[in-house]
Amino acid sequence: MLNRSKQKTKLIERAPEERRKDFLEVNDGYSLTEAVSEADRCLQCRNAPCIQGCPVAIDIPGFIKAIQEKDLERSWEILYATNRLPAICGRVCPQEKQCEERCTVGKIKNSEPVAIGRLERFTADWKRKAGFSPAPVELTHTERIAVVGSGPAGLTVAAELAQNGYAVEVFEALHEPGGVLTYGIPEFRLPKEIVRAEIEGIRKLDVVLRTDFIVGKTIFFEEIRKRYQAIFLGIGAGAPKFMNVPGTNLNGVFSASEFLTRVNLMKAFRFPHADTPITIGKNVIVVGGGNVAMDAARSALRLGAQTVKIVYRRTETELPARWEEYHHAMEEGVEFLWLSNPIAYLPDSDSRVKGARIQKMGLGEPDASGRRKPVPLPGVEETLECDCVIEAIGQSAHRILSEGFKEVRLNRWGYIEVDPETLMTSVPGVFAGGDIVTGAATVIEAMGAGKTAAKGIMNYLRTIG
Ligand code: FAD
Ligand code: SF4
Ligand code: SF4
């Protein structure tokens, strides 16, 4: 029965005062009744504009209809046919800018779109709890493919190729696979148990995952080129950028990459039960306005900071973070300083940071991103006291990691150049996708690239075979 409610079915969330003390998820997702009620808001549009907003083209009306009919197994089959990481995407996709932005229901006056992401999470969580073990696929090809990097791009290429009967080996530099899903996005947004379970689903397709293995160092690129008939580079763009203002070298000034890796991969949040401690001050400043800044700020609160301020050089309107994360951060007590930019960090007598000099900004004409450009207001400055600064102003290509692939042509920013149709690089048989091609983007865009590259690789192997 059609649900004519203009609002999404409400999701019960844990109280902000409670959740800011731990690393558990903010909510448990929809119950069956709530999911069916939300699914009943879907109009089953024939032209399904929502699908065009999904980089992996999930049959969205199809999997939602199956929820309406309480046929969760079928909902899962439809979902998993195109998306191998649905519990992850349901949690972290910027749906409001993708599938949900195109939803017909969201175009009705004062109406919110169907909660596609929450429904995707519901089906995927149901299946994980019900038990899930995909059968290995018979090898039907003799060619072997190497995938470098086990982030969402690499995992998607591996799954697509294995599903099509190819032998695939994935090489990962770190001790756990998953890329940013494992070492970047914190536990309270994306529990690692869920990442592991979805990666396990890919491993079960007989994909071989080799961790602690740096291609370019543990094994030379020339060597894997000899051993494999095609290679995919999904090495991400995880090198931190710094503002490089005076005082960046002071103790207590971190990049968000280092901070979040210590918290996630090395489990600093479980110290002393895990080996890696992290010193977090009482008053923390986080610089930036994206998801990484929200994650760093909310992690800092959970590690015991008394105040956490996000310093952002534009305003709420231009904030690039997912809307939901911004709201969760505010509810939990993160403060926001708009139109503010640090110009120096101030030292105490032990070379620890004790404050930040902040330049106040105005907004000028729109820049290349379409957002109004922040411009300094001469002479308008303030000083903020703090004992920890976390810079989350973006990431770039990791020059040391890409140095291992010297033959592959890079652009002037250090990202890999590819043919946009096939994602083949300047070296025949070597493909690339995800953040190392586009610069920092999203999980689902990296997965979309993984799908395109898998098609490109299969076509390439057919032509040389
Ligand atoms: P990555 O996920 O970076 O994976 C690359 C992998 O390659 C890494 O594991 C790395 O160790 C490995 N590697 C590199 N070089 C080598 C080598 N030589 N040999 C072997 N292995 C190698 N996106 C969203 O959609 N929603 C979010 O909410 C969101 N939040 C984010 C929060 C944080 C803190 C960060 C940092 C990013 C976030 N993103 C989010 C962005 C998203 O995670 C990335 O766009 C996505 O992970 C890119 O995928 P990828 O496969 O290209 O690379
Ligand atoms: Fe939407 Fe992301 Fe799911 Fe695609 S994968 S339907 S973009 S939430
Ligand atoms: Fe359902 Fe919205 Fe997609 Fe239409 S556009 S099929 S209402 S999810």
Query: Strand, coil or helix: what is 151?
Result: coil
Ligand 1, pocket-test mutation among 83, 85, 180, most atoms within 8 A of CB: 180
Rounded to 10 degrees, the C-alpha dihedral 213/431/226/427 comes to -130
- The verdict on the CB of residue 114 being under 6 Å from ligand 3 is yes
**Rounded distance, CA 112 to CA 28, Å?**
21
Decide: pTM greater than 0.85.
yes
Tokens for 430, please give them.
């070597």
Mean pLDDT to the nearest integer, 72-96: 96
State yes or no: cis peptide before 272, omega within 30 of 0.
yes
CA geometry: angle 203, 207, 210, nearest 5 deg: 90
- The verdict on the CB of residue 45 being under 6 Å from ligand 3 is yes
**Rounded distance, CA 257 to CA 184, Å?**
7
Which residue's alpha carbon is at the smallest distance from atom 2 of ligand 3? 103
CA of 324 to the centre of ligand 2 (A): 15
Q: 242-283, pLDDT tens digit by residue?
A: 999 999 999 999 999 989 988 887 665 665 565 666 778 899
Which residue's alpha carbon is at the smallest distance from atom 8 of ligand 2? 117
Q: Give yes or no for residue 391 having a pLDDT over 90.
A: yes
Which position has the higher pLDDT, 403 or 83? 83
CA of 72 to the centre of ligand 3 (A): 18
CA of 102 to the centre of ligand 1 (A): 26
CA of 103 to the centre of ligand 3 (A): 5
Ligand 1, pocket-test mutation among 96, 235, 255, most atoms within 8 A of CB: 235
Which residue's alpha carbon is at the smallest distance from atom 7 of ligand 2? 54
Which residue's alpha carbon is at the smallest distance from atom 4 of ligand 3? 45
CA of 252 to the centre of ligand 1 (A): 25
Query: Which ligand 1 atom is at minimum distance from the Cα of 214?
Result: 19
For residue 214, the 8-state DSSP code is: -
Mean pLDDT to the nearest integer, 80-88: 96
pLDDT of amino acid 399: 73
Q: Give yes or no for residue 384 having a pLDDT over 80.
A: yes
Which one of the ligands is nearest to 259 CA?
1
pLDDT of amino acid 372: 87
Ligand 2, pocket-test mutation among 120, 322, 324, most atoms within 8 A of CB: 120
Residue showing tokens 């990484």: 292
Q: Give yes or no for residue 238 having a pLDDT over 90.
A: no
Q: 294-341, pLDDT tens digit by residue?
A: 999 999 999 889 999 999 999 999 999 988 899 999 999 999 999 999
Rounded to the nearest integer, the mean pLDDT of the chain is: 93
* Least confident window among 74-88, 125-139, 376-390: 125-139
Q: Which of 144, 139, 145, 121 is nearest to 26 (CA)?
A: 121
